[in-house]
Amino acid sequence: MVDLLSEVGAYASIGGVIVAVFLAWLVYYLDKRRRTQEEQHYKTLTEDSLHEILQIFTEVVLKSKPESRTENENENITLELDEYFKENYRRLTDLIRDTKIYMREWRSLKPEQKANIVKVLESLNWLIVTFYPIDKAESLRMKRWLQNRSELHEKREQVQDIVKSIAQTN
């Protein structure tokens, strides 16, 4: 009888170990799957933000129009840009903040990709701080966007190239 109880106890111990190993593996597997899904989610959010930033640059380039304009046309363009930046200033600043968060959570992001995304964010910051500073006087805003119009086109091209390169590497 004692031998039978010790034998049952041994089998129960072995069964307990097997159940514990299975549960540990199951927890590991589910956690790994969750982390992979989160990684993909933040990667997608970052890429979506980059495409939105590219779209913003495209809209501003289209609104700023070619260089040979009269004073009256420049004033009208300034009014259009003024309306655009006043309506979208919060969205632009939120986009910078959110993209930084997404980037931080995208753990497999390569250093060169991260550096490129930082360049895009710096370009967007340049757009709202230098190119068209909404908190400055209207005459200064017009002067700034007229002076920086060619740089705007360069920055848009740079953002477009970065967005394409990140899309191709993923």
The domain ranges of the chain are 37-169
Backbone torsions φ then ψ of 66, nearest 5 degrees: -65, 165
CB 142 within 8 A of CB 70: no
CB 120 within 8 A of CB 48: no
Cα 72 to Cα 48: distance, rounded to the nearest angstrom: 37
Find the range with the poorest average confidence among 59-63, 72-76, 87-91, 121-125.
72-76
Residue carrying structure tokens 């363009």: 77
pLDDT digits 0-9 by tens, 6-60: 776 777 788 888 988 999 999 999 999 999 999 999 999 999 999 999 999 999 9
Nearest residue to 43 (alpha-carbon basis) of 86, 103, 128, 120: 103
Whole-structure pTM over 0.85, yes or no? no
pLDDT digits 0-9 by tens, 122-138: 999 999 999 999 888 88
Cβ neighbours of 164 (radius 10 Å): 12
